């Protein structure tokens, strides 16, 4: 089984390759994606997850650059610089990934 850091690294590689199959394979079928501070649930479940990221991957310039990573147990925290999104020139994101059973169960984002 992959370590939490390996799982998160694999999803980052798949994200930057716009590989929806490899990307979704890193997440559980009941994945939850939330905003960190507000606690707002953005979407839940693989169907909504896949649809959201398939749309994002249609942007050819989409890229996430890892700035910093902290790992503790089953939690991995990435600081990223994201480019190629239509509404942002550059978006800075902190993503907190919770991994269980070799898959990402939950992601919480804070964005600037």
Domains and CATH numbers, the chain: 4-111 (3.10.450.50)
Buried b (16+ CB within 10 A) or exposed e, 48-76: ebbeebeebbeeeebebeeeeeeeeeeeb
Give CA–CA dist 70/75, Å, rounded.
Answer: 8
Instruction: Let me know: does 94 contact 82? Beta carbons within 8 Å.
Output: no
pLDDT tens, position by position, for the chain (112 residues)?
Answer: 899 999 999 999 999 999 999 999 999 999 999 999 988 999 999 999 999 999 999 999 999 999 999 999 999 999 999 999 888 889 999 999 999 999 999 999 998 7
């Amino acid at each position: 089984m992959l370590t939490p850091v390996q799982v998160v690294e694999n999803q980052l590689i798949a994200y930057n390759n716009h590989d929806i199959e490899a990307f979704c394979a890193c997440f559980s079928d009941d994945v939850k994606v939330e905003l960190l501070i507000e606690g707002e649930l953005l979407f839940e479940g693989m169907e909504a997850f896949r649809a959201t990221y398939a749309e994002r991957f249609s942007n050819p310039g989409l890229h996430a650059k890892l700035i910093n990573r902290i790992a503790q147990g089953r939690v991995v925290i990435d600081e990223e610089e994201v480019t190629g999104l239509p509404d942002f020139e550059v978006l800075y994101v902190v993503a907190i990934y919770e991994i269980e059973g070799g898959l990402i169960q939950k992601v919480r984002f804070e964005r600037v």
